[in-house]
Amino acid sequence: MVGKVTIDPEKCRCPARCVQSCPQDVLDWDFENRKAVVVNEIECFVCYNCMEVCPYEAITVKEVDWNPPSEN
């Protein structure tokens, strides 16, 4: 299982606690737009840290099946 991370840009505001809480560097901070962004979703192992620390409830994480591309 991996996580499908979604950030609601309308709700997302400082202080980037989600970025700091992610042990897998799934999120990063877009300084220009002052919003968190998903940059490495495949590394999400669904710890929910980002959701738990976001005071604005801007982040959702859902478990999804991941099937790596088959090599032909």
Do the Cβ atoms of 3 and 23 come closer than 8 Å?
Answer: no
At residue 2, the pLDDT reads 87
Query: Which stretches of 1-72 are DSSP H helices?
Result: 17-21, 49-53
pTM here? 0.83
Q: What are phi and psi of 12, to 5 degrees?
A: -70, 130
pLDDT of residue 14: 76
Could you list the pLDDT tens digit for every one of the 72 residues in the chain? 789 999 999 999 877 899 999 999 999 999 999 999 999 999 999 999 999 999 999 999 999 987 766 676
CATH architecture of the domain with residue range 2-64? 2-Layer Sandwich (3.30)
Domain boundaries in the chain?
A: 2-64
User: What pLDDT was estimated at residue 72?
Assistant: 63
The rounded distance, in Å, linking the Cα atoms of 37 and 19 is: 9
Token pair, residue 8, equals: 């609601």
User: How many helices (H) does the chain have, and how many strands (E)?
Assistant: 2, 4
